[in-house]
Amino acid sequence: MTTAVHLDEITKRFPGVVANDDVDLTVERGTVHALLGENGAGKTTLMNVLYGLYRPTEGRVVIEGEERQFSSPRDAIDAGVGMIHQHFMLVDPMTVTENIVLGNEPRKWFGLAVDREGARRDVRELSDRYGFDVDPEATIEDVSVGVQQRVEILKALYRGADILILDEPTAVLTPQEVDDLFRVFEELTDQGKTIIFITHKLGEALHAADDVTVLRDGKNVGSVTTADTSREELAELMVGREVFLQTEKAPSDPGDVVLSTDGLTAEDNRGIEAVSNVSFDVREGEVFGIAGVDGNGQAELIEAITGLRKPTTGTVTYLGEDITDAPRADRIDAGMAYVPEDRHERGLVMEFDLVQNGILGSQHRAPFAERGNIDWNTARNHAEDIIREYDVRPPNADADAVSLSGGNQQKFIVGREFERNPDLVVATHPTRGVDIGSTEFIHDRLLELRDEGKAVLLVSSKLDEVQGLSDRLAVMHDGEFMDVVDPQDVTEEEIGLLMAGEHPDDAASAAEADAIADGRGEGTSGSRAASDVPSDGGER
């Protein structure tokens, strides 16, 4: 194989921080290479060096055998390197075509006008070539996140990229969109492109990559082929210790009802009903989980519970009090902690430092305030405690939230909310964008809160997470609870059917009816009885 990228002894220093420490990285042409590591391990910094956003303090960047010195991303693009960032850089009101060709528009009439029809034709041809199925005339704000990501990839390909860097590409995708993205990887590498993707997810690295390089504390601690490694080995390389990949928990001991909803209905931002007549309760000492594909009403339900959205009908009761119309601040004061789905919009003030962000929602009451004056020493100590306990990197309370990686922002929010001494924790996607070591810690902390008698309402698109942590599990589809099940007594396949809006019993009945109609069912020579078919449709 030919080497597409070689980073030779790359060191990148910032004031007080060594982000990359003498890192070597070799990526072969036409392969998928995963860059794996915990939050703050230096993965994105290393790729920003390759993309020309940063100049290395020491070391060499070699592309296709030629040493390069990039002063800007434009130099990297000219060398065939493209980067798709975790937060997309698209203009929402513009079309797919306009976003892809922006800054590189084809011209006509001796360069006096943009050739819009030529641009649409070029984008359609590019999309068809790679099997992307993207409508060139669609507006960005009207397409899914998965399509937006494909637009970002097409934008890089349009500019001639042969080496594509993707930073945490699955962080905002549904499971179906993740599968689609990995099929895109296969199509690109089949056509000779080289993919480097940054991730902290072991399963994705093993599934999608040919090779994996692991960074820890800014150093390369190992490069392996996926065929010769395991989840356990990669986890230990990432964290530097043995990691327990399975959640272990004692049986729950539920107490009194802490939260309940009765006939709750809510609309989304477009005025369309997103939550339809949902009733449930969460008790002391239990984790009540909600599973479902994103966009099926989970966000609107949680916003109605936490005071961020006014329900159209129904009630929310907390600790025996009707709080349906209570303001958000009253719910915080009453002991309701909330880890929001969108950490930028709901969880942090990005321009504030961690001291200020650490007291959000509690800045008006003890121990952080007295007679309207904030005690900044207490606030600083609180932020430093969160940073230390939840391993937030860099460990600097004066750092602005915007300067932290997404995973470290998430860890800080989780720490702030869990340490409120709440009666109820509402945790939506609490480990989204968080590395495996921190995920293990957050899971353990959620179960500790449960065992302390707290009520936990957990929403997650990670099926293994919500099934492993929950004592009772509701599956949501199209704004309704399809069923509430014991997560230990249901299979992933059955949960998947519920997530798709189909009851497993109905699916089994339909499968049996099809078998009978095809001459394979009961009463047919050589067939087996319906009672011999397990409920998950698999073989015994």
Q: What is the pLDDT of residues 465-506, one digit of tens each?
A: 899 999 999 999 999 999 999 999 998 888 888 988 888 776
Q: How confident is the model at residue 200 (pLDDT cuts 50, 70, 90)?
A: confident
Show the domain range for 530: 503-540
Confirm whether 324 is domain-assigned: yes
User: How confident is the model at residue 41, as a pLDDT?
Assistant: 87
Does 181 share its domain with 48?
A: yes
d(CA 260, CA 258): 7
Does 292 share its domain with 376?
A: yes
Q: Tell me how crowded residue 290 is: count the other CB atoms within 10 A of its CB.
A: 24
Tens digits of residue pLDDT in 321-355: 999 999 999 999 999 999 998 898 899 999 999 99
Mean pLDDT of the chain: 88
Task: Find the CATH number of the domain harbouring 451.
Answer: 3.40.50.300
Does 448 share its domain with 388?
A: yes
Share of the chain above pLDDT 90, in %: 64
For residue 317, what are its two tokens? Answer: 């009761």
User: How confident is the model at residue 524, as a pLDDT?
Assistant: 37
**pTM of structure:** 0.66
When divided into structural domains, the chain yields a total of 4
Residue 107 has pLDDT above 90, yes or no: no
Does 313 share its domain with 391?
A: yes
Q: Which helix (H) or strand (E) holds 273?
A: strand 273-283
Q: How confident is the model at residue 518 (pLDDT cuts 50, 70, 90)?
A: low
Single residue among 160, 193, 215 that ends a domain in this structure = 160
User: How confident is the model at residue 132, as a pLDDT?
Assistant: 82
Q: 53 and 32 in contact (C-beta within 8 Å)? A: no
Place of tokens 């939550």: 275
**HSE of 234 in the Cβ direction (CA atoms, 13 Å)?**
30
CA 271 to mean position of chain CA atoms: 27
Q: 218 and 41 in contact (C-beta within 8 Å)? A: yes
Q: How confident is the model at residue 371 (pLDDT cuts 50, 70, 90)?
A: confident
Does 286 share its domain with 317?
A: yes
Q: 181 and 169 in contact (C-beta within 8 Å)? A: yes
d(CA 534, CA 79): 56
Amino acid identity at 284? E
Taken in order 293, 276, 299, 437, the sign of the CA dihedral is negative
d(CA 46, CA 358): 29
Walk across the sheet containing 424-428 and list its strands: 336-339, 424-428, 455-459, 286-291, 472-477, 480-485
The DSSP call for residue 487 is G
For residue 279, what are its two tokens? Answer: 């009733």
Closest CA to 30 of 153, 170, 251, 211: 211
Residue 519 has pLDDT above 60, yes or no: no
Tens digits of residue pLDDT in 123-152: 999 888 888 888 999 999 888 888 888 899
Does 226 share its domain with 319?
A: no
